Amino acid sequence: MENKTVKNSESEVNRLVLPEDTNIFGALYGGRLVEWMDNIASITAFKHARKKVVTGSIDNLFFLSPINLGYIVTIHTFITYVTRSTMEVEIDVQTENVETGDKKVTTRAYFTYVATDENGRAVEIPGLLLQTPEEEKRFSEGQTRSKSRLDALKNMKETVLF
C-alpha cells in the first residue's frame, strides 16, 4: 500500500450560520459545530483511507469564542498522525464577520477515525508521507496524543465494561 501525503486529503469548507443553526441568543449551537467538524474531518479520513471510516474519539474540545448568526465559519482539516488503521485529523475552525471581515480562531480539535471493513473490523490504511518539518512536528505531537488517548480508552473500557 502506497503512503499518501497530507495534501492528498486536506479539506476546507465554508458555512454561513443561518437561523436554524442558532440558539435563542443568536449564537451557533455547539453541537451543530461539532457535527460540521465531524463531517469535514471524515472527508479527510475517507480521502486518505479510501475505506469505510468511523469516528473513534474526539479529544478535549474548547470553544474559545461564540459564533453569531450571519458569520462565516471556515473549517480546515488535515491528517496529523496515522497508525495501522487510525487517522488523527486536526480541525481548525475560524469565524469571519461578514460586515467587517474580522477573523477569529474559535477552536482547534483532534478527531480520530478508524478504517474498517464491512464487518466493522479495523483494517490497514496507507502510511503518511511527511513532506515538511511542520508535518514531522505534528506527527510527533500526534504520537504523544495517541499514547494518552489509548491510555484513556483502556481506562474507559475497564471502567465501563468492568
Ligand X SMILES: CC(C)(COP(=O)(O)OP(=O)(O)OC[C@H]1O[C@@H](n2cnc3c(N)ncnc32)[C@H](O)[C@@H]1OP(=O)(O)O)[C@@H](O)C(=O)NCCC(=O)NCCS
Chain positions contacting ligand X, by CB under 6 A: 54-57, 83-86, 112, 114, 116, 120, 122, 150, 153
Please tell me the distance from the alpha carbon of residue 16 to that of residue 105, in angstroms, as a whole number. Answer: 16
Please tell me the distance from the alpha carbon of residue 1 to that of residue 51, in angstroms, as a whole number. Answer: 13
Q: State which amino acid sits at residue 23.
A: N
Indicate the residue among 98 and 153 with the shorter CB distance to ligand X.
153
Using alpha carbons only, what angle is made at residue 91 by residues 141 and 49, rounded to the nearest 5 degrees?
80
Residue 114 Cβ, how far from ligand X at the closest point, in Å? Answer: 4
Indicate the residue among 46 and 68 with the shorter CB distance to ligand X.
46
Please tell me the distance from the alpha carbon of residue 37 to that of residue 15, in angstroms, as a whole number. Answer: 11
Indicate the residue among 67 and 114 with the shorter CB distance to ligand X.
114
Residue whose beta carbon is closest to ligand X? 56
Indicate the residue among 22 and 86 with the shorter CB distance to ligand X.
86
Residue 83 Cβ, how far from ligand X at the closest point, in Å? Answer: 3
Residue 75 Cβ, how far from ligand X at the closest point, in Å? Answer: 18
Q: Could you identify the residue written with the cell 479539506?
A: 11
Q: State which amino acid sits at residue 60.
A: N
| Cβ atoms of 105 and 91 closer than 8 Å | no
